[in-house]
Structure 1
Amino acid sequence: MIDPWLWLGFAILLAFTIETITGFGSIVIALSLGALMLPIPQLLPVLVPLSVVMSSYLTWKNRQHIDWPILTRLILPLMLAGTITGYFLMPWLGDSGLEILLGCLIVWFAGKELWRLFGGHVAAPHGLKTSRGIILAAGVTQGLFASGGPLLVYALAGIQLDKSRTRATLVSVWLTLNVTLTLLYLFDGRLIATADRIAWYLPMLVMGVVVGDFLHHRLDEGYFRRAVYGVLLVTGILLVFRAIL
């Protein structure tokens, strides 16, 4: 048997390598792989502070591209409310409930992206009320899994932002929300209990960024994304079946 915390180190290295190459998904990938061997509530106090380190650097680097009106008036109020709601819902769902919800979220996200990549499907824009509802739901998944990205990107379909502004704005969202979650984990005692593990995994984050930067211009990103989404799809299905059985 593989030591589950050693497995998590591998998942962290892989996840931050992929994020450096493609610009998405460090927590989604690390959490989905880690959840195959460890309970989700044990993973989040390790993964969220590591994400804060990464997103702090990226937010500062891309600060001039942040769309402040969309960030402060549309995204953050709803995402913060949803994140706090999700944090307090977590104990009520239990480990199996969390695994099923995470697995379903990953299957939906990976399946949607594979459909888009293979079929050329373009997401239709949403009305303002629908977008607000999806953003609130994205906040809930952020509070539960620190993985609000799939729903938030879906909610923002049709909003006219160029690639630079979209990435900078989303990174600033993750920084704000993950700092909030880190403080909540500090107050409930889970952050202190996992501080030594966070320190051990920091080199994995740095190594992932270095390896990802090296591979960024040497891989076909389209094929690489398809492979990543395929792995996520299988992982999500495994999580759901494991929780049910």
Structure 2
Amino acid sequence: MTIILYFIIILLTNMIQGITGFAGTVLAMPFCILLLGIGIAKPVLNILTIIACTLIVVRSYKHIVWKEFFKMTGIMFVGVFIGEYVYTLFPVDILLTLYAIFIIFIALKGLFVKKEFDLNEGILIGIILSAGIIHGMFISGGPLLIIYAVKKIKDKESFRATLSPVWIVLNIYILIKQLFLGIITVPMVNLVLIGIPALMIGVIIGGQMAKKMSQQTFMRLSYVLLLISGVSLII
């Protein structure tokens, strides 16, 4: 039953990843933490995210806005280093509670706050840095990064294509570190292999749906799923 639930989680969340380019890991992480434990969920989802984003980049690389890619990646790297350090300072239970509250806040904002706020460049850079910190702790910086990305990248296809290589670069760094520390185990590799078919099916379906349905509809769906996942994690 655990494997079946894991397969379903990877399938459904990567459908959203295929549509938006960012939501797959942050949606999957709370459920996979509950199902597998955080020590297993983080490395497994990190590898699966690299694969999912690579599929998106292969199909949409011509739409990447390189200036924004380099800017987001560079600033987020600084945040990742901070996030990794913060993760070692506090008990996991406290960090998970704060993470769940963060997810719920982002979801409620996306669902109910329609007003666009004028954010200066300093605040936007701070948002990217904060996204990196969250990514360093939970490999889930997407919800914060989109606050910046939606301000700078208006085209739907470019939005999706530009976010994906950011996650590839950051997550490969995290993967190299995990390999160096000996965190990756054979059972984790087996879970990755089980998840790859679900991931590929989800990304392909999501990519097709993204062409036919509005970005607004699926962003709203992403926020609803974020809310459910955050509440589930707190419970």
TM-score by length of 2: 0.86
Q: How far does residue 221 in structure 1 lie from its aligned partner after superposition?
A: 6.7
Match of 1:207 among 201, 214, 217: 201
Change (3 A) 1:181 1:123: farther
Q: 2:227 matched to 1:229?
A: no
Q: For 1:41-100, what per-residue CA distance to the aligned partner results, in whole angstroms no more than 9, with x for missing partners?
A: 32010011111111112223322222222222x312210111122223323333312321
Q: 2:84 matched to 1:87?
A: yes
Count of matched residue pairs: 234
User: Whose relative contact order is higher, 1 or 2, with alpha carbons under 8 Å and at least 6 apart?
Assistant: 2
Match of 2:35 among 16, 28, 37: 37
Report the equivalent of 1:126.
Answer: 119
Read off the aligned partner of 2:67 and give its amino acid letter: P
Q: For 1:159-191, what per-residue CA distance to the aligned partner results, in whole angstroms no more than 9, with x for missing partners?
A: 354333322221111111111111111111122
Change (3 A) 1:122 1:165: farther
- In 2, Cα distance between equivalents of 1:75 and 1:211: 27
Read off the aligned partner of 2:53 and give its amino acid letter: S
Matches within 5 A, 1:1-245: 2-3=1-2, 5-72=3-70, 74-116=71-113, 121-159=114-152, 161-193=154-186, 194-212=188-206, 225-240=219-234, 242=235
Change (3 A) 1:189 1:177: same
- In 1, Cα distance between equivalents of 2:163 and 2:150: 13
Read off the aligned partner of 1:38 and give its amino acid letter: L
Structure 1 stretch displaced more, 160-169 or 144-153 = 160-169
- Mind listing any 5+ residue stretches in structure 2 that lack a counterpart? none
Q: How far does residue 136 in structure 1 lie from its aligned partner after superposition?
A: 0.7
Tell me, what secondary structure is at the counterpart of 2:34?
A: coil
2:19/2:218 contact within 8 Å kept: no
1:11/1:33 contact within 8 Å kept: yes
Change (3 A) 1:106 1:53: same
2:76/2:129 contact within 8 Å kept: yes
Identity of aligned residues (%): 29
- In 1, Cα distance between equivalents of 2:124 and 2:227: 25
2:15/2:202 contact within 8 Å kept: yes
Change (3 A) 1:40 1:237: same
Read off the aligned partner of 2:43 and give its amino acid letter: P
Change (3 A) 1:19 1:88: same
TM-score by length of 1: 0.83
- In 2, Cα distance between equivalents of 1:7 and 1:105: 25
Instruction: Report the aligned-residue RMSD.
Output: 2.5
Tell me, what secondary structure is at the counterpart of 1:37?
A: helix
Q: For 1:135-168, what per-residue CA distance to the aligned partner results, in whole angstroms no more than 9, with x for missing partners?
A: 1110011111111111111134533543333222
Structure 1 stretch displaced more, 29-38 or 222-231 = 222-231
Change (3 A) 1:127 1:184: same
Read off the aligned partner of 2:232 and give its amino acid letter: L
